[in-house]
Amino acid sequence: MSVIEDLQGIAGSAHVLTGEAAAPYAKDWTGQYESAPLCVVKPASTEEVSAVMRAASAAKRPVVASAGRTGLTGATHAPEAIVLSLERMNRIREIRPEARVAIVDSGVILAQLREAADAAGLVFPLTFGAQGSARIGGVLSTNAGGSNVLRYGNTRALCLGLEVVLADGRVLDLMSALAKDNSGYDLRDLFIGAEGTLGIITGAVMRLHTRPLAYVSAMIALHDLGDGLALLNRLQAETGGAVEAFEYMPRSYMEAWQAHVPDGRQPFDDIHDHAVFLELGVTARRDATVDENGTLPAQAHLEEILGEMISDGTVLDAVIAQNGQQRREMWARRELAGELMTAYGPVVLGDVSVPLDQVAPFLEDTRAALAEAAPGSREAVVSHLGDGNVHYAVWPSDGLNGHAQAMEIIESTAVRHGGSFSAEHGVGLTKRPAMARHKDPVALEVMRVLKSALDPGNILNPGKVLPGN
């Protein structure tokens, strides 16, 4: 109990939770990983996080950082560990519009940062379904992606600087707002995507971008995925890279969505085998100014392109949002993915990436392999098609016993097609077996050396990411 008393002295008794008070932190969002943490501590500053880490290091107690608790890989599983919640560290320290940066605590909720950027006439473009609960420290620690990676990149591309507390309590100040800094190793990138195994992120300098003056959103039914890539490449070329989202929602996903939202309205009269939701973000005033006919030039351009592709049979049907409500409905279908894929009991959540021209072959081979291994299994696929990230959900017909095999089929097929077994959800516990099977052994050894150097006592989120750790 002495370490708990130490933590109470650091953060205050009201901010150290034990027993039933700690129960909300004992289970992840998926419900697949449960544990009993020693306690939950909620520091209010970087100085308090530093003191917490010094106390934990002295007591040789494991520490698991917790953000919005919306992860999907068991990365915050914390049996007998100190859960370090950053939720009180939720201050937007500064918005600098001219420099296009926001300086924030790591406990800032993603939607909170997006709102602050919007108020400054800019945009923080990272977006996904859990943006109302996910926190900046969590999205940095998993290098989260979302639906706008195509234009803006993963979280790593949106971060200029970090503040990190190391395992021994020292504070590493990397809070640079520089776009260029070649003064030695890029230490910042070590901590982004490390899932709290190398240090605790307490602050960040995040990039802001020019806010689009208008959006053009559409649902497109396609003959096949190859036609989808043809459409994407043409749009990118003809709009100067204005495509922000290009989301693949095939029949399996739309049928699962309809089952989950029985009174929901489908975009087309019939459910098509292949469909994408696309959105253009228009920043040039000439493309965002309504003409004498009341039409946005960017929308007219999209209608022209789609009309030509409908004529040649590449596009089967198209619906363009005519107002904000219709745009929100399109986004709502896509952003419900996490909820509907976990709504029907234990599920395999494949999160992989492959080269763009390998998405279709990957899906074909995976579907065939799963049908042979577990006939009668249900599936739902949704994909950030523009960056090759595929979310492949499977409910195996033989229940829990088929989950490990189904996951291995999805991941090994992705690797065979030149891809990765982990795209944007992180590794946590779920993908540690894949790390052992598929990660280059030399890369794993280098990672272990880094882990040992930065966390010699192995107290930072032990048992995650690295196999055998």
**What domains sit in the chain, N to C, each tagged with a CATH number?**
2-85 (3.30.43.10), 92-210 (3.30.465.10), 214-337 (3.30.70.2190), 344-424 (3.30.70.2740)
Residue 74 clears pLDDT 90, i.e. is over it: no
Average pLDDT for the chain: 93
pLDDT at 83: 97
pLDDT-above-70 percentage for the chain:
99
- State the pLDDT at residue 401: 60
Whether 127 contacts 331, CB under 8 Å: no
pLDDT, average across residues 134-146: 95
Contact 257/321 with Cβ under 8 angstroms?
no
Cα(440)–Cα(418) distance, rounded to whole angstroms? 13
Half-sphere exposure of 80 (CA within 13 A, CB side): 6
| Cα separation values, 49 from 14, 43, 236, 242, 316, Å | 16, 6, 45, 41, 56
Higher pLDDT, 287 or 162: 162
The average pLDDT across 66-83 equals 90
Confidence grade of residue 376 (pLDDT, cut at 50, 70, 90) = confident
For 148: left if phi > 0, alpha if psi spans -120 to 50, otherwise beta; the answer is: alpha
Cβ atoms of 398 and 328 closer than 8 Å: no
- Rounded to an integer, the average pLDDT of 308-337 is 94
Q: Does position 12 have pLDDT exceeding 70, yes or no?
A: yes
What pLDDT sits at residue 399? 59
Helix H or strand E segment including 436: helix 432-438
Integer distance in angstroms from the first to the last C-alpha of the chain? 26
What is the model's pLDDT at position 1? 60
State pLDDT tens for residues 393-415: 998 876 556 788 899 999 999 99
90-108 per-position pLDDT tens digit:
999 999 999 999 999 999 9
Contacting residues for 295 by C-beta, under 8 A, at least 6 apart: none
| pLDDT average, residue stretch 243-272 | 94
Which is higher by pLDDT, 28 or 255? 255
Q: Hey, is 111 helix, strand or coil?
A: helix
Per residue in 268-321, pLDDT (tens digit) is 999 999 999 999 999 999 888 888 887 899 999 999 999 999 999 899 999 999
- Note whether 274 and 226 are within 8 A (CB): no
Min mean pLDDT across 17-26, 324-333, 373-382 is at 373-382
Tokens 């392109």 identify what position?
Answer: 305
- Out of 106-110, 126-130, 422-426, which region has the weakest mean confidence (pLDDT)? 126-130
Instruction: Tell me what the mean pLDDT of segment 456-469 comes to.
Output: 94
